[in-house]
Structure 1
Amino acid sequence: MSAREIFSSRNPYFAVSVGVVAGIFVLTALGGLIVLPYAQKELQFASLWDAICSAAGLPQRSASVPTAKVGPRLSEAVLTPTTLARPSQESIGRGATLAQRCAICHGPTGISRADSPNLAGQYASVIYKELLDFRSGARTNAVMSPFAVNLTDQEIADLAAYYAYLPRLPAYHPTPQLPRPRIVIYGAPLRGIAPCGSCHGSLDNKAGSPWLEGQSEAYMKAQLQAFAASERRNDISQQMRNIARAMAPEEIDQAAAYYASQPPEIVKATD
């Protein structure tokens, strides 16, 4: 039998094979492009064409059709070591005016009398990032979220510049200085925990990481627990979540207590 006869429609074996393959292709297309998209109850489509396009990776967005539910927002802040490194005096002055609204929680001089963070002398990039995250919803708080949602990019930069300009002052509620625990000095390399100071140094740090000396023990403990439980998710690349999840509860207590007991490194206001 010649090749022409083998691949001829008159050959019943060839005809059946082609029919079976075509049938499988049609069933697969129907299942993948129509049945499976509609089986996802959280998605709604305006038409059959929208479902097909969505399954093909080309979602058709429509203002009248609810979009799919998405997971928690993540931080979109982009930082470099030079972010807000040289603010203008005008920016600092505008930030001082804006900061009057922050004084009830963070103190008139940037030092909190409660368990809110001390902001005086904090790295500008840290305050800038956290305000951006509160505004976007990447980080949430009953007080900070409504405050940040209406801030412009310039106002956020001005507030960060002002607080970074202030000198670091002793905390209102200092505790007796404690010896440095092992988790702070050495971390725990076998569990993927770096020494805290490798990111949170008071004179040099990783961009976006705050200095911690003199901060509220209750606040730091609550944030570490929130990272460990993935209730706070605005850390870049999940770095803090990975570390906090690997820390034992007593190590979280020790780190928070130690940093709360340390006086801040006094840094003079820049000109």
Structure 2
Amino acid sequence: MSEDELYSPRNPWFSISVGVTAAIAVLSAIVGLIWLPLLQPNLKLAGIWDAICSAAGVPNLPRPAAAVPPAFKTSNVVVTPEMLTRQDQVSIGRGATLAQRCAICHGPQGVSDANSPNLAGQYAAVTYKELNDFKTGARVNVVMSPFAANMADQDMRDVALYYAYLPRVPSSQVNPNLPAPAIVVTGAPMRNIPPCGSCHGEIDIKAGSPWLGGQSAVYIKAQLQAFASGTRRNDISEQMRNIARQMTAEEIDQVARYYEAQP
């Protein structure tokens, strides 16, 4: 048999070998590029073309997904470094009048004798945000939620500016010589916990973060536990929830006692 006849379609062996090779190639392509990718349980593919692109190593273009609303209300306050920093004497005066209703829990001068937070000298943006969150339901409390429900936005701003105007008063537990726990100064990098002082003062101050010095240890501990359990969730971008979940019970207690002792 000549070479021309060997590779001729008239040669049945040549035709069969070519056909079998082509069939194997097509079957391999179907299995490797379509069937196997579609079998992957964790690979979300829209169809055959996506399967082929995935098998070939071509990245899928992101598809716009419908926004998933949270199962709970979130804070709608956008805090900026300039927020409520300008003192307005008229607003402070109105706030002083409105704050008379707050005195039973927060003290006549913004310093609580109970375990409610001290508001004297607190950043105005912080007080305003919390009042707004109580009003909208982003933060829930049996006392504060109904109290804030009927407050107008200007009322909340006035009260916040008034309390920011008042001087901070050291707590009865003040002890500035109490050494700062490591979680306050250096955090816990291996657990993604930044130093408390990087947001709450001493190292740096982050807009919207409250001043904690002189606050009741009972109150601070309760709030950290609430963040850790998820019962309080009005923190911006879940920052405090992510931190508190990683803290030990001992660290929470140390932080609470340390800040209570600060002026």
Per the normalisation by structure 1, the TM-score is 0.70
1:82 aligns with 2:49: no
Structure 1 segments of 4+ aligned residues over 3 angstroms from their partners: none
* Identity percentage of aligned residues: 66
1:189 aligns with 2:183: no
Q: SS at 2:118's partner residue?
A: coil
The structure whose Rg is larger is 2
Q: SS at 1:102's partner residue?
A: helix
The amino acid of 1:169's aligned partner reads V
C-alpha distance 136-246 of structure 1, shift in aligned 2 (>3 A): same
Shift of 1:246: 0.5
The residue number in structure 1 matching 2:173 is 174
Shift of 1:87: 3.0
Structure 1: unaligned runs, 5 residues or longer: 1-56, 58-68, 264-271
Shift of 1:240: 0.1
The residue number in structure 2 matching 1:131 is 131
The residue number in structure 1 matching 2:223 is 223
The residue number in structure 2 matching 1:238 is 238
Shift of 1:179: 1.4
1:152 aligns with 2:148: no
The residue number in structure 1 matching 2:23 is none
Over residues 79-124 of structure 1, what are the superposed CA-to-partner deviations in whole Å (9 max), with x where a residue is unaligned?
A: 1000011031000000000000000000000000000000000000
Structure 2: unaligned runs, 5 residues or longer: 1-65
Shift of 1:131: 0.3
**Matched residues in 1 for 2:80 and 2:179: separation?**
33
**Matched residues in 2 for 1:128 and 1:197: separation?**
22
**Matched residues in 2 for 1:75 and 1:203: separation?**
26
Shift of 1:261: 1.1
Kept after mapping to 2: 8 A contact 1:202/1:211: no
The residue number in structure 2 matching 1:26 is none
**Matched residues in 2 for 1:213 and 1:87: separation?**
22
Kept after mapping to 1: 8 A contact 2:109/2:120: yes
C-alpha distance 106-202 of structure 1, shift in aligned 2 (>3 A): farther
**Matched residues in 2 for 1:175 and 1:90: separation?**
33
Q: Aligned Cα RMSD in Å?
A: 1.9
Count of aligned pairs between the two proteins: 197
Over residues 3-26 of structure 1, what are the superposed CA-to-partner deviations in whole Å (9 max), with x where a residue is unaligned?
A: xxxxxxxxxxxxxxxxxxxxxxxx
The residue number in structure 1 matching 2:9 is none
